[in-house]
């Protein structure tokens, strides 16, 4: 168990880290898809209003506010997701990262066994299931949330 995340009202730990990452991933994917559909339609509407062929109404305002909120959160959550992808690829947890910030001369990360192995430790060895929210299969290397393989 690593740390409590209030946004999901649960702690993030070894057993649910993959689901937390996929949660962020699918929020971003849904936002990208929504924005890609909405922005052309919204631009068309704005042009129509400027030309005077359509009038302002409350639904247009709801769309405007909604699209702007989606775009803002897309930027913020993508940055946050990138931070977490870097953590996974370097086999570091949120608390590990905080410890290293407080104690910069603590030496290299002994749990870093290479980007691919670090990734597979969280997402499982079966690439077909990387994007599916099921528990990862970790046959080799035996990281179990209590002990992790070290690179020394």
Going by C-alpha positions, the residue among 151, 145, 59, 70 that lies closest to residue 113 is 151
Q: Nearest Cα to 72, choosing from 102, 107, 31?
A: 31
Q: Does 100 bind another protein (CB under 8 A)?
A: no
Instruction: Choose one: 37-45, 80-88, 100-108, 118-126; the region binding another protein (CB under 8 A).
Output: 37-45
Any idea what DSSP says for residue 86? H
Which residue in the set 50, 128, 142, 146 belongs to the binding site for another protein (CB under 8 A)? 146
Residue (of 14, 11, 25, 6) closest to 93 by Cα position:
14
What binding mask, one character per residue, do residues 59-88 give for another protein by CB under 8 A, x or -?
A: x--xx--xx-xx--x---------------
DSSP conformation class of 54: S
Annotated catalytic residue 37: no
Q: Which residues contact 27 (CB under 8 A, 6 or more apart)?
A: 77
The span of 36-44, 47-55, 78-86, 119-127 binding another protein (CB under 8 A) equals 36-44
Residues 136, 120: Cα–Cα separation, whole Å: 8
- Nearer to another protein by Cβ, of 69 and 137: the residue is 69
Six token digits for residue 111: 């749990």
Q: Which residues bind another protein (CB under 8 A)?
A: 1-2, 6-17, 19-20, 22-23, 25-27, 29-31, 33-34, 37-38, 41, 45, 59, 62-63, 66-67, 69-70, 73, 93, 95-96, 111, 131-133, 145-146, 148
Residues with catalytic function: 5
């Amino acid at each position: 168990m690593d740390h409590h995340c209030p946004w999901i009202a649960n702690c993030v730990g070894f057993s649910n880290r993959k689901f937390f990452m996929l949660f962020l991933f699918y929020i971003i994917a849904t936002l990208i898809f929504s924005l890609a559909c909405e922005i052309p339609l919204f631009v068309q509407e704005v042009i129509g209003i400027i030309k005077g062929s359509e009038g302002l109404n409350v639904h247009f305002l709801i769309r405007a506010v909604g699209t702007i909120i989606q775009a803002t959160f897309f930027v913020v959550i993508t940055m946050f997701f990138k931070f977490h992808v870097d953590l996974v690829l370097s086999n570091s947890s949120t608390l590990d990262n905080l410890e290293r910030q407080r104690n910069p001369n603590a030496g290299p990360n002994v749990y870093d066994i290479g980007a691919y192995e670090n990734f597979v430790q969280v997402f499982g060895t079966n690439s077909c299931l990387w994007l599916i929210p099921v528990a990862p299969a970790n046959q080799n290397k035996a990281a179990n949330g209590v002990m992790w393989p070290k690179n020394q």
